[in-house]
Chain A
Amino acid sequence: MTERSPFRNLAVAAVGGWLTVFVILPNLMTLATSFLSRGEVEFAILPITFSSYRELAGPEFLRMFLDSAWLALGAAMACLAIGYPFAYILARLSPKKRKLGLLFVIIPFWTNSLIRTYALITILNANGLLNKVLLGLGLISAPLDILYTETAVFIGLAYTLLPFMILPLYASIEKLDPRLIEAARDLGAGSFQTFFRVSLPLTLPGIVAGTMLVFLPALGMFYVPDVLGGSRSLLVGNFIRNQFLTARNWPLGSAASVLLTAIMALLLAVYYFCNKRVRREAAA
């Protein structure tokens, strides 16, 4: 339908205009700010400089960034390890049970993650449930001090972001044709081989999507260390917030944000190519 209609023009203009003004323009402004100098009255001033990016390449930011990326990657891998078998079992249940099971993943998905982070305190506390259970079982002799450590932040990230891993995994495992697995078995592949040569490659888009949806927010969720990890600035998110709020170095904060966007672009490209390859293989 290519005839001109006022309704069509209105609809396209409304959403296109909104995205241009509130997504594309602001991101271009962030990019521009990252090349400006820090100002006293204005948030950023001329001249154009690369000094923010030079600072990102310096040892101080690099160490923090690597720590943060390591933590976020660990959280993503923990979610993958917990989530993959979970999604796999869920996708093979009867349709009715599957729906119900999925609903109970969606509820925490839509629950405020700040509240979920806060709820973890009740478990990780020195007097919390975890210590009580471990003490009761005789596994430890003194309560573990997990709260306000890096371990607590790791658990917090994995806990709040687990549904973001399960949902894309579930979507790609559900699409996996059971006949392909049967075929592999019939051709003499063991369950190990079937998994690594059939299931895993075909569900790779789900794995990449889930990893992206955990890894990216895990770099930015500054309130998780605030609530569970004491006041140490641990994540790239804490760094960016501090540049905007306390250090008032907006160009540096913008440069770190551009870095996050670049990582996102990279992961999206990986996802795109995985998806394309799997589609081609499934069609073949």
Chain B
Amino acid sequence: MKRSLKAAYLTAVYGFLYLPLLVLIAFSFNDSKFLVSWKGFSLRWYASLAGNSSLLDAALRSLALAASSATAATLIGALAAIALKRYRFAGRKALSASLYVVTVSPDIVMGISLLILFITLNLPLGFLTLFLSHVTFCLPFVTITILARLSGMDQSLIEAAADLGAGEYAIFRLVILPIAMPAVMAGWLLSFTLSLDDVIVSFFVTGPSFEILPLKIYSMVRLGVKPEVNALCAVMFAITLMVVGATQLLMKEKR
């Protein structure tokens, strides 16, 4: 294939991926209620966004949920990755296989199975059920991210530390953790976006008392185009960009 043809093809696919988002962002600055025509630059939809207290409440709840579930998922995921890398134990293969299965299993299957669990346990649907569910779908992503970094680690570092008399805990804290740290942070950030982006699982495991942002957007979007939603989506996209950028910087560090 010719070089220029290849470049044209890449450009076309990137255009397909990004054009809708760019148009959406452009229209979030449009001084018109309708998507039809450009009426001039305006920040009025961002202003009305900032004045919408029920949206802001939902956003705060979502941020709290994302931060707490990302933290819990990262703690457990880091333990899991280190255990999988460092130890041989019964069920090790089954554990790592089930982590991969969770990443490909459809959200809707996870959503309803957790709903059945919570209803059977008589747990009221709200923050707690959302938290438990979000930790569950973030956990495998954190584990895989950290495991990928640890797989590049020189095994002799651990042996050297052990020869020098380091105990199990000292090896963990002084050798493994510093090496894994960028991936631990990246795992946290990825969990944070996953939690902030989830619609399907949250849809099933939340109750009316705890409305979070993605579900709020879902109910607004079902009613059609609203410029306020455009502004909100633009803000969410900006957050995703920052998180992806930060993750890339963290993972880029020399191994």
A residues adjacent to B (C-beta < 8 A) = 1-2, 5-8, 10-12, 14-16, 18-19, 22-27, 29-30, 33, 43, 82, 85-86, 89-90, 101, 103-108, 110-123, 125, 127-129, 159, 162-163, 212-213, 216-217, 219-223, 226-227, 237, 240-241, 244, 250, 253-254, 257, 260-261, 264, 268
Contacts and interface: CB of A to CB of B under 8 A. Distances in A.
Nearest to B102: A23
A126 to B, nearest CB: 9
A197 B106 CA distance: 33
22 contacts: A11-B82, A12-B87, A15-B77, A15-B139, A19-B102, A22-B136, A23-B102, A43-B119, A85-B9, A89-B6, A104-B17, A110-B190, A110-B197, A111-B197, A111-B237, A115-B21, A119-B20, A119-B21, A129-B19, A162-B16, A226-B218, A257-B112
A122 B24 contact: yes
Given A22-B136, A120-B20, A257-B112, A264 B143 contact: no
B168 A26 contact: no
A12 B89 contact: yes
Nearest to A101: B10
Nearest to B27: A122
Contacts of A86: 9-10, 13
B177 to A, nearest CB: 12
A116 B168 CA distance: 46
Contact of B200 (A121, A222, A253, A257): A222
B113 A159 contact: no
Given A43-B116, A112-B236, A113-B197, A23 B98 contact: yes
B108 A227 contact: no
Interface string B5-40: 010011001101111110110010000000110000
Interface stretch (B46-54, B63-71, B241-249): B241-249
Contacts of A33: 116
B229 interface: yes
Contacts of B169: 7
A43 B17 CA distance: 42
Contact of B9 (A6, A22, A89): A89
A169 to B, nearest CB: 12
Contacts of A115: 21, 24, 217, 233, 236-237
B214 interface: yes
A25 B120 CA distance: 11
Given A22-B132, A162-B17, A254 B112 contact: yes
B113 A213 contact: no
Interface residue tally on B, bucketed by range: 35 or more
A7 B83 CA distance: 9
A30 B108 CA distance: 12
A111 B240 contact: yes
B240 A104 contact: no
A134 B188 CA distance: 44
A19 B214 CA distance: 25
B175 interface: no
Contact of B21 (A106, A111, A125): A111
Contact of B95 (A15, A30, A104, A217): A15
A216 B106 contact: yes
Nearest to A31: B113
Given A12-B87, A118-B229, A127 B95 contact: no
Nearest to B143: A15
A212 B20 CA distance: 25
Interface in B210-249: 214, 217-218, 221-222, 225, 229, 233, 236-237, 240-241, 243-244, 248
Given A127-B36, A159-B17, A257-B113, 10 more contacts: A12-B83, A18-B139, A23-B98, A29-B120, A30-B113, A108-B17, A120-B20, A212-B104, A257-B108, A257-B112
A127 B38 CA distance: 12
Interface in B119-159: 119-120, 132-133, 135-136, 139, 143
Contacts of B115: 244
B14 A122 contact: no
Nearest to B99: A19
A95 B199 CA distance: 35
A108 B86 CA distance: 34
A260 B17 contact: no
A261 B99 CA distance: 15
B20 A260 contact: no
Contacts of B86: 1, 8
B101 interface: yes
A221 B200 contact: yes
